[in-house]
Amino acid sequence: MTTSGLQGGRLEGVDVLRGLSVLLVTLHHIHLRYWLNDYPVNHVLPDLLNRVTFWSGYYAVIIFFVISGFLITRLSIARWGQLGKVHVGRFYVMRAARILPCLFALLLILSVLHLAGAKEFMIEPERASLGQALSAALMFRINWLEGHYGYLPGSWDILWSLSVEETFYLAFPLMCLLLRREWLLLLPLGCLLVLGPLNRIWYLDQDPWGHYAYLSCMDGIAFGCLAALACARLQISKRVLLASLIVGAITAILVIVGCDEDSIEGIARYGLNVTLLEAGMALMLVALGSGVGNHALSRGTGWLRLLGRASYEIYLVHMLIVLGLIGVFKQIQRPTSEIPLWYAAMLLLSLALGYGVFRGFSEPLNEWLRGKRSSPPR
């Protein structure tokens, strides 16, 4: 087993997947802004390539959920040996140290922009007041707010996924201590796997609940948790792990390529497109978490791995760039022939800003708040 597969080591393959995912999310949001403003951008590429490149943002977020469940479970086992021995207070401190500094900074910036009357960042009063949006963001219920009153500006809307993820992690250590034995955790995790597609069926044509509801996404986190438990507790041969990596990758690719994330037909009618994507990612993570595939995925992907490490920060701040520049583009009325250059500028500046925030702000604060510099990487 390589060092990448060790319990506290860095998994290069996982960082590649995170980098690809945050790249797809950023491309989706750039493209969406032009499309919403009626610019002719949706047929520049062949239809399939256009859909995969610019309309896979939700699938990318689902991949993040699976990876997040995998990493938090893996690192909890590394720190405490068994999930039944998780220290609740320490768990919450570590999550707060990683999540809150960048979130607080973003909310401060968004509040200033709203109060200053920046058009692309202002919350429509019929949707929510600034106070209601701040309360929803801090209490992890942006998805609930948007489900009842409509979409907030894109810079706020992205926080729906954080609402799902952190709600899961508020309950996770408590459930670990309550059940004590890891095998008992299979019961609630298994329930989430069943409830996920059922919830997606229930909210199939109810935008945004079909995508944003808590139970419509938490099965992805549960898949990740189960993948980490499989890595830690099962002895799996290298041949089986290699097969798991290949089958998982093929499954995920087939879903992304073969099923529109907004479709309500075929397997999507039963919520199974998302389930298959989650299962494929979980199979890949079992292999990567056991040390198989990381070396291959690390070749020539250094830049993607850097993006993967800073994926949380890129995700939070990229809409500041995207909305800011689309506002300038509309204001100065640039010709559509310049759109590719503006696309490139939005993408590069979004990635650069997110990585800069990671290196210069959130990661130093994360280490300081946790009180030690030797904690396993997240």
User: How high is the pLDDT of residue 334?
Assistant: 86
**DSSP character at residue 129:** -
Digitized pLDDT (tens) for each residue of the chain, 378 residues in all: 333 333 446 899 999 999 999 999 999 999 999 999 999 998 888 999 999 999 999 999 999 999 999 999 999 999 999 999 999 999 999 999 999 999 999 999 999 999 999 999 999 999 999 999 999 999 999 999 999 999 999 999 999 999 999 999 999 999 999 998 999 999 999 999 999 999 999 999 888 998 999 999 999 999 999 999 999 999 999 999 999 999 999 999 999 999 999 888 899 999 999 999 999 999 999 999 999 999 999 999 999 999 999 999 999 999 999 999 999 999 998 888 899 999 999 999 999 999 999 999 999 998 888 875 444 444
- C-alpha distances (whole Å) from 206 to each of 171, 248, 293 are 27, 30, 39
On whether the CB atoms of residues 79 and 376 are closer than 8 A, the answer is yes
- Neighbouring C-alpha atoms within 13 Å toward the C-beta of 350: 31
> How many Å apart are CA 46 and CA 122, to the nearest integer?
35
- Neighbouring C-alpha atoms within 13 Å toward the C-beta of 14: 31
Q: List, in sequence order, the alpha helices (H) in the chain.
A: 12-36, 47-54, 57-80, 88-115, 130-138, 142-149, 154-157, 159-179, 182-202, 209-212, 214-233, 238-258, 272-289, 294-298, 302-309, 311-332, 339-357, 363-370
On whether the CB atoms of residues 210 and 181 are closer than 8 A, the answer is no
Q: Work out whether the CA dihedral 333, 335, 336, 342 comes out positive or negative.
A: negative
- Separation of CA 47 from chain center: 25
> How many Å apart are CA 164 and CA 159, to the nearest integer?
9
Can you give the pTM of this predicted structure? 0.93
Place of tokens 């604060």: 365
User: How high is the pLDDT of residue 9?
Assistant: 66
User: How high is the pLDDT of residue 373?
Assistant: 44
> How many Å apart are CA 234 and CA 348, to the nearest integer?
42
User: How high is the pLDDT of residue 2?
Assistant: 33
User: How high is the pLDDT of residue 376?
Assistant: 47
User: How high is the pLDDT of residue 3?
Assistant: 32
User: How high is the pLDDT of residue 335?
Assistant: 87
